[in-house]
Structure formats: structure tokens, C-alpha cells
Amino acid sequence: MNFDFWFLFSNERLLICVHFLGGFSLGVTKDDCPVIFHDDFIFSEENGTVFEKRVTELSLEEFLCFGPQREAGKQGKSLLRKTKDGKILNWNVETDDSFCTLAETFQKVDPSLGFNIELKFDDHIVYQQDHLIHVLQVILQVVSEYAKDRPIIFSSFHPDAAQLVRKLQNTYPVFFLTNGGTQVYYDVRRNSLEEAIKVCMEGGLQGIVSEVKGVFGNPGAMPRIKESKLSLLTYGKLNNVPEAVCMQHLMGIDGVIVDFVQEISHAVDDMIIKPLNEGLREGDEETETKSKLQFSQQELSFLLKLIPELIQH
């Protein structure tokens, strides 16, 4: 099972606390079992023919037949993957494990690790509300049974699903996922940070998770997000660049999703946390403030104006 990792920044007396959330995508099989799988389809090969199966059309037993098997000596059905440009490639990863359910994930992962549970729905299907409610209730039943004191947030690219899961429970925060305008969808609610703010305000959601380029390309949305009392997290390849992560901290972004956890953690420590601690030891308030910001407000304003131009090239 693969996790994405989130750094959640919070400021308290000029000290930055870094917290971790493991993120994964969730689907529900046709016999109502929430399972961990990123994509809508499973690709496999049989007798030289490549075929695809929608996860929601498989039973749990059928789903678990793909990939590495738990029983020694048992061979699972082959796994392939489809790239964005339509190519079918072998499923090659450094380490692999058998498929698992949401319930097993709760049972086997250290309870101190929080979960960001992404609620997956196919972009090309128009779902009826009754179906969405049923799927979400199945997921919430497992969460209610196994979550205990584990920190959890829900997130989804599907505006209706995000708003519904907020209506169905008020224990855990819900975030709306968006590309921030870097891609265009039929549902206009997915096409900008401004629309994301509307989705959150209408549904009582706690925040937005945006592609980082969407934020860098539209820094003017930041004040509106803060005025709406929403949290803002980001994802994207740029978040594996330490300078981009530190820049987001200066902008007031609340957290980032990264692939290279150790590298980014060390970089954040060197660029932000150590200078802060040095300033605190010196006991000079002006030094503390400078070590925290590293840029004057004028310089920061200039950088925010420059970033949209940079990311277009």
C-alpha cells in the first residue's frame, strides 16, 4: 500500500510544528467493501489480451485476486497500468504488497499516523445523489468502527460527494480537492480556486487542497481563502522542491503533500525551523521576525507577482 505524506504547518510562538498524514484513495466494490486503490480501473492481461475492470464492478474476492497474493505460492492475476497518454505498461514498483481493505488499513497502520481519505469517483459518470449517499455511508460505517482516536480528514475532487460527506458526519474535517484551474472540467466547480471557495462555503467544508501551480498561478486567491476562514493545502510535483515548500509557508499555506518525505523534512528544517530557533535563542524579537519571514513584505509581494509568469515557462 502506498501513502502520500502531508506536512501540516502550524505556528505557535514562532515555532513550526510538522505533522504527518498518510493519504490514500478509496473505492468501494460492488458488494460494498471500501478498498484502497488509486484508479477507477484495474488493467490486467490474460492469454495475451489486455483487459480493464472497473473497481466498482468487482466483488471484494475478485478485487483481491489481482497482484501479489497473501498466501505463499499463490499467483495473482497480472497488474498493468495505463499512462495519461494511453500507453499500457508493466506494473513496476520498488516494493509491492497485496491489495487491502480500508478496515485492514485501520488495523495494520500505526494509529499515531493520521489518514487523509480521498473519496474517489469517476470523472466521466454522473452520479445520482442516492448512490453517492449509499457509498459514503458504507465508508463512514468502517471509519466509525475502526478509526478510534486516529486523526482523519476526508477529501474529494467530486463537489457533491465532498458536501454530502460533510452533511453525513461532523466528526472529521472535509476538504475539496481541485486542480486550481490548471485543467478544465465540464463541472465548472472544479475549474478555479474561486469556485472551490464557493463549494466549501456552500457545503460547510473546512478547506481546499489545490494543485500547487493553481495557487502559484493565482496568488490573489489566498486573501479570499483566508477571509473565508478556510484552510489551504497543496499537492503537485513542485512540492518536491524545498524552495517551493518554504515559499508556500511564507504565503500562509497550511500544509503540503510531498513524495520525498525525508528530503523535504530536512530542507524545511534547514530553511525555516533552525533559523527560527536561532532567533529565539538570541532573544531579539526583530531577529526572530526576520528569521521567520526571510523576505520583506515588499519582496514577498514582488515574488507573488512573479511566480505566475515563472510557472508558465
Provide the angle, in degrees to the nearest 10, between the axes of the packed helices 159-168 and 193-203. 20
Structure confidence at residue 47 (pLDDT): 86
Do 171 and 299 reside in the same domain of the chain?
Answer: yes
Domain boundary (28, 59, 90) is at: 90
Within a domain: 95:
no
- DSSP one-letter code for 31: T
Which one-letter amino acid corresponds to residue 126? Answer: V
Of the ranges 2-6, 58-62, 217-221, 279-283, the best mean pLDDT one: 58-62
The range of the structural domain enclosing residue 106 comes to: 5-36+102-279+292-312
Q: Which helix (H) or strand (E) holds 106?
A: helix 102-108
- Distance separating alpha carbons of residues 32 and 57, to the nearest angstrom: 10
pLDDT above 90 (res 176) = yes
Do 67 and 128 reside in the same domain of the chain?
Answer: no
Which one-letter amino acid corresponds to residue 270? Answer: D
Within a domain: 248:
yes
Do 54 and 153 reside in the same domain of the chain?
Answer: no
Which one-letter amino acid corresponds to residue 150? Answer: R
pTM for the model stands at: 0.83
DSSP string, 55-88: GGGS-HHHHTTBSS-SSTTPPPBP-EEE-TTS-E
Beta-bridge partners for 118: 25, 155
Read off the pLDDT of residues 276-305 as tens digits, 9 standing for 90 and up: 556 555 655 544 444 444 555 555 565 666
Of the ranges 49-53, 203-207, 212-216, the best mean pLDDT one: 203-207
Domain boundary (67, 90, 113) is at: 90
Within a domain: 160:
yes
Beta-bridge partners for 12: 15
Do 156 and 14 reside in the same domain of the chain?
Answer: yes
- DSSP one-letter code for 273: I
Read off the pLDDT of residues 8-49 as tens digits, 9 standing for 90 and up: 554 432 233 344 556 678 889 999 999 999 888 999 998 889
On the 0-12 / 13-18 / 19+ scale of CB atoms within 10 A, 151 is: middle
Structure confidence at residue 107 (pLDDT): 95
Do 184 and 51 reside in the same domain of the chain?
Answer: no
Count of the separate structural domains present in the chain: 2
Q: What is the mean pLDDT of residues 135-157?
A: 95
Do 58 and 12 reside in the same domain of the chain?
Answer: no
Structure confidence at residue 82 (pLDDT): 86
Structure confidence at residue 22 (pLDDT): 63
Within a domain: 285:
no
CATH number at residue 154: 3.20.20
Do 179 and 71 reside in the same domain of the chain?
Answer: no
